[in-house]
Copies of this chain bind each other. A is one copy, B any other.
């Protein structure tokens, strides 16, 4: 799932990498996800498209790298999915909160949320973050109709992010993670595998 030449590697030309990422961020923000191409990003950064592939992998991988978050959501979610659908709602939430509640990670995630909605339409959340980054991973958990269930999961998780982290609504902001898991986990489970009209 992770890019073959991702974060863990130390490429020889950090400036080139940074220039590609800057060009990629500008293109995703201005043109959106679908209209962004590796070729155009490479041209804007003044490098060969093959180098972009070499550094970052696919366009999906480039998007995740451009988010500049200290975690790859696909890597974080993989073990949740691997453990299967039983109890997945609570596991998913526990993993999610474990990342978001980490004071080292949270500022970067909040910055990501702001940059993702910063294009005023939330287009990158709609066109890339949910369908391209987290959707395909979570599809391994749903009993059927991932195209309906995953957006329902997203609607609750997004609301939780807004309530707990963005606006800090009491008592959501200070609720112990295990209480959130116990209260909201069953809802995610319902959306993932419950009876849904």
Contacts and interface: CB of A to CB of B under 8 A. Distances in A.
Given A151-B169, A169-B151, A162 B122 contact: yes
Contact of A163 (B121, B151, B197): B151
Interface string A146-170: 0110011011111110111011111
A187 interface: yes
A125 interface: yes
Given A183-B196, A187-B190, A190-B187, A123 B155 contact: no
B162 A123 contact: no
A130 interface: yes
Contacts of A125: 167, 169
B155 A159 contact: yes
With most chain B CB atoms within 10 A of its CB, the pick from A121, A130, A151, A196 is: A151
B167 A151 contact: no
Contacts of A162: 122, 155, 158-159, 162
10 contacts: A117-B166, A122-B162, A122-B168, A125-B169, A151-B172, A154-B169, A154-B172, A155-B164, A155-B184, A159-B159
Interface of A: 117, 121-123, 125-126, 130, 147-148, 151-152, 154-160, 162-164, 166-172, 179, 182-184, 186-187, 190-191, 196-197
